[in-house]
Amino acid sequence: MEETPVSKVMTKNPVFVLSDTLAVEALQKMVQGKFRHLPVVQNGDVIALLDIAKCLYDAIAPMERAAEKGKAIAAVEGVEKNWGTSFSGQNTFIETLREQMLRPSLSIIIADNLK
């Protein structure tokens, strides 16, 4: 391997995506082509290299967050059922909780993107 030229081991005519390709399309190309990396091309130049592990993580993370929100909503609905009509102001309180869970504030979105 020490004296093997790159031309002997490189992939000729590699598959690539353009920078404006949807992430899901790029992921499909990687899965269908059975490769772990995919060049991103803009104006004929390679500007990035996608990694399938990161793409899969980025695709799964929102689903995990949605599942967690679903659990939180179910918990709120359980509390709502247990309180019945005896709690004054219940509807306003429950609706406020739902709003905060379903529509995160900008600070939450920014914090998620910094992780």
Same-domain check for residues 71 and 107: yes
Average pLDDT, the chain: 76
Q: What is the pLDDT of residue 107?
A: 54
Residues 18, 45 share a domain: yes
What pLDDT, on a 0 to 100 scale, did the predictor assign at position 66?
A: 75
| Structural domain contains residue 1 | no
User: Residue 47: which residues within 8 A CB-CB, separation 6 or more?
Assistant: 19, 40, 41
Establish if 48 belongs to a structural domain: yes
Residue 49, pLDDT score? 94
Task: State whether 45 and 67 are in the same domain.
Answer: no
Q: Which pLDDT score is estimated for 113?
A: 47
Q: Could you tell me the residue range of the domain that residue 43 belongs to? A: 6-54
> Which DSSP string corresponds to 48-100?
EEEEHHHHHHHHHHHHHHHHHHHHHHHHHHHHHHHHTT-STTHHHHHHHHHHH
Residue 76: its pLDDT value, please? 66
- 5 pLDDT band, cuts 50/70/90, is very high
Q: Is the pTM of this model over 0.85?
A: no
Greater confidence (73 vs 48) lies with: 48
Task: Check residue 65 and give its pLDDT.
Answer: 78
Looking at the fold, whether 32 and 66 belong to one and the same domain comes out as: no
3-state secondary structure (DSSP) of residue 20:
coil
Residue 95 banded pLDDT, cuts 50, 70, 90: low
User: Do 109 and 65 reside in the same domain of the chain?
Assistant: yes
**99 — pLDDT class (breaks 50, 70, 90):** low
66 and 107 housed in the same domain: yes
